[in-house]
């Protein structure tokens, strides 16, 4: 960690001297200024008003005003998503988008796939908001554009500098000896747009052995080498130490209360990704990106097995060609991707008594994908996408596709409807594949079927002046879903089919000039092929947010209600419905200095995300922000 901090300090010094003669705020047009355009839904820059209600965007202002601490705090506010955490900050957190599995949603950073963690899922509980500008979420099958995304896509985008040099320091202290620090730096001129953030988080946790420590860094820049070529670079790093309290129930005897575990998890992850964009003409460009990531988890003092180190390595090369017709009626993108994945488990010492042998799993993926938007007339358009994935090992070849039709209604052109059909495939969770078999499963299985989805979706979005109303209905069917239910004979991999039908409704806008609000309701009916409800997917989720701005003071609140939630710990359990509120506020002492507060679980609700994992009680924090 000391070496990393020194490296970060040197980077910071180099940025301060790398100003190209531009200091302070200047009237320049920085390279890569796309902050108001959404790029995730189609891989083209589009305004939010042009997109379906299946797309949600949290702006930089909303994130900062809401005083959110982690990426998971933001994702919790979005309809159609449910996050389940094994406790408080930093704990393992799974995300279920429209009832799909946790590994079915692709999580990106500026379009690059983040380190997923050992199982092929994501360490969502580890991700800070350091240097994060906006978060874009596309719900529903997007596997034709992003392989392995039959649930949806989350794209975290770094801060975009608007001109000159800016720095910001944020500090916060509070419950459970919590200490959170964040530093951000940005620089922009006519050739460079760069942003850099480092953060530190420490808390003792609200349970025995639930302390969490995280240090992270996020660097992103785009530099115009000349009028035709842009160089960009992404770097992400985090180093965490986490106490694993464990469930309070024994899964082998659910009525038994367990003592706290002594397990400690240490994670180090990094991603670095350079890219080049070649502007061939005003209507076409080529982009080549390499992405190298590693996630290393050390599990020590474990209860039921030896101490192990789990390692994931992913290397990816992607090239895209984007072009549009001269009259802009047709926009297309063609892409090629080559990816190498490698997963390893090894004991930390040579005195292992575990029944699980060391193992190594690796496979390559070669992909071709395309997406085209055709403007039929002034009011309607059609979007068609397709993808082919070939794997080096025993996965079958994957073909994905989608078609979406959108039309603007009425003379005032304030209402837009859409209908979408898609078919996608997803590799199974690697750990679930391994259950009940030798871990070198690629040597055992002749053919491994991919999880496949057929998805239908219709939606409407209408502009009501200062308000916007959106509604989406979806009907999904996922077959060959890999699960690993527990039985007296242990865990065994089972293939099931599942269906997910539901709807998402939201109303957002302004009440006057100072009050902003957002109300949403999500309904989900997710069942397996025997008609049983899928665990950890609530049937009902209500969200409400309101914020009021005064001349030098902002105050806001978020409210969440979840019902119809089940879990499994040796047998099925209904989890108690819960309602949670948080309040926050900021007082602006001057243009550059402010103090703030936030109260999580303000009503001190006693509830659980998962069976045996109580959620945090009321927690309060006080902090300050200084810009210079």
pLDDT at site 328: 79
Kindly state the average pLDDT of the residues 22-42. 61
Give the number of other Cβ atoms within 10 Å of residue 263's Cβ. Answer: 18
Which residue is listed with tokens 């509604």? 471
Phi first, then psi, for residue 354 (nearest 5°) are: -70, 145
Distance CA 510, CA 513 (A): 7
Distance CA 343, CA 418 (A): 40
Residue-range domains of the chain with CATH: 2-627 (2.40.170.20)
Distance CA 112, CA 157 (A): 10
Distance CA 239, CA 266 (A): 8
Phi first, then psi, for residue 617 (nearest 5°) are: -75, -170
| Alpha-carbon 88 to chain mean position | 18
Residue-wise pLDDT tens digits, 572-581:
788 999 999 9
Closest CA to 319 of 335, 333, 331: 335
Distance CA 608, CA 611 (A): 7
pLDDT at site 505: 98
> Which has the higher per-residue pLDDT, 118 or 97?
97
Q: What is the CA radius of gyration of the chain?
A: 24
Closest CA to 534 of 578, 486, 496: 496
* pTM of the predicted protein model: 0.90
Banded model confidence at residue 446, pLDDT cuts 50, 70, 90:
low
pLDDT at site 439: 45
Q: Percent of the chain scored above 90 by pLDDT?
A: 61
pLDDT at site 124: 83
Output DSSP code: residue 532: P
pLDDT above 60 (res 381): yes
> Which has the higher per-residue pLDDT, 376 or 394?
376
Burial-class residue 295 by CB neighbours within 10 Å (0-12, 13-18, 19+): buried
Phi first, then psi, for residue 70 (nearest 5°) are: -130, 165
Residue-wise pLDDT tens digits, 613-623:
889 999 999 99
The answer to whether residues 90 and 76 touch, using CB atoms and an 8 Å cutoff, is no
Closest CA to 54 of 533, 455, 424: 455
pLDDT above 80 (res 223): yes
Tokens at residue 161, please? 């500098």
Lowest mean pLDDT among 30-34, 257-261, 366-370, 444-448: 30-34
| Secondary structure of residue 52 in the 3-state scheme | coil
Banded model confidence at residue 145, pLDDT cuts 50, 70, 90:
very high
Kindly state the average pLDDT of the residues 466-486. 87
């Amino acid at each position: 960690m000391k070496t990393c901090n020194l490296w970060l300090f040197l980077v910071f010094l180099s940025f301060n001297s790398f100003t190209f003669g531009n200091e302070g705020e200047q009237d320049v047009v920085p390279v890569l200024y796309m902050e108001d355009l959404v790029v995730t839904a189609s891989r083209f820059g589009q305004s939010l008003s042009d997109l379906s209600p299946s797309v949600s965007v949290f702006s930089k202002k909303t994130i900062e005003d809401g005083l959110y601490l982690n990426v998971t705090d933001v994702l919790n506010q979005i309809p159609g998503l449910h996050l389940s955490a094994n406790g408080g900050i930093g704990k393992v957190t799974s995300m279920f988008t429209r009832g799909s599995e946790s590994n079915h949603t692709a999580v990106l950073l500026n379009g690059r796939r983040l380190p997923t963690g050992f199982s092929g899922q994501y360490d969502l509980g580890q991700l800070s908001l350091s240097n994060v500008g906006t978060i874009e979420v596309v719900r529903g099958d997007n596997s034709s554009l992003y392989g392995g995304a039959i649930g949806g896509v989350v794209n975290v985008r770094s801060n975009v500098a608007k001109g000159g040099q800016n720095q910001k320091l944020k500090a916060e202290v509070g419950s459970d000896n919590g200490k959170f620090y964040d530093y951000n730096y940005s620089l922009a001129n006519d050739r460079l747009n760069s942003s850099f953030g480092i953060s530190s988080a420490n808390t003792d946790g609200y349970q025995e052995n639930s302390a969490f420590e995280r240090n992270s860094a996020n660097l992103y820049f785009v530099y115009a080498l000349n009028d035709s070529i842009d160089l960009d670079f992404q770097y992400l790093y985090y180093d965490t130490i986490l106490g694993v309290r464990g469930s309070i129930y024994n899964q082998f005897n659910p009525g038994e209360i367990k003592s706290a575990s002594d397990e400690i998890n240490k994670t180090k992850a990094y991603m670095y990704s350079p890219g080049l964009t070649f502007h061939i003409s005003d209507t076409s460009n080529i982009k080549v990106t390499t992405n190298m990531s590693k996630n290393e988890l050390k599990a020590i003092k474990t209860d039921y097995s030896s101490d192990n180190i789990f390692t994931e390595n992913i290397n990816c090369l992607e090239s895209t060609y984007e072009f549009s017709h001269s009259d802009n009626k047709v926009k297309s993108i063609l892409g090629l991707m080559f990816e190498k994945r490698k997963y390893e488990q090894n004991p930390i010492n040579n005195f292992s008594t575990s029944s699980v042998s060391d193992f190594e799993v690796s496979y390559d993926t070669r992909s071709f994908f395309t997406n085209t938007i055709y403007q039929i007339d002034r009011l309607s358009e059609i979007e068609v996408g397709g993808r082919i994935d070939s794997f080096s090992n025993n996965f079958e070849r994957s073909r994905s596709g989608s078609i979406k039709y959108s039309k603007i209604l009425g003379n005032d052109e304030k209402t837009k409807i859409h209908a979408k059909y898609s078919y996608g495939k997803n590799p199974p969770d690697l750990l679930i594949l391994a259950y009940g078999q030798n871990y070198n499963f690629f040597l055992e299985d002749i053919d491994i079927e991919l999880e496949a989805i057929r998805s239908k979706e219709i939606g409407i979005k209408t502009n009501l002046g200062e308000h916007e109303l959106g509604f989406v209905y979806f009907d999904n069917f996922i077959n060959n879903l890999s699960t690993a239910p527990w039985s007296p004979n242990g865990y065994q991999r089972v293939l099931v089919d599942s269906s997910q039908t539901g709807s998402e409704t939201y109303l957002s806008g302004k009440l006057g000039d100072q009050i902003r609000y957002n109300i949403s309701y999500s309904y989900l009916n997710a069942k397996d092929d025997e008609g049983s409800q899928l665990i950890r997917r609530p049937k009902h989720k209500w969200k409400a947010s309101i914020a009021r701005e005064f001349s030098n003071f902002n105050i806001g609140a978020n409210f969440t209600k979840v019902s119809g939630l089940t879990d499994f710990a040796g047998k099925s359990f209904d989890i108690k419905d819960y309602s949670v509120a948080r309040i926050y506020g900021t007082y602006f002492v001057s243009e550059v200095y402010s103090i703030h507060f936030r109260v999580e679980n303000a009503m001190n609700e006693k509830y659980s995300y998962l069976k045996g994992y109580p959620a945090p009680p009321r927690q309060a924090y006080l902090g300050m922000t200084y810009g210079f």
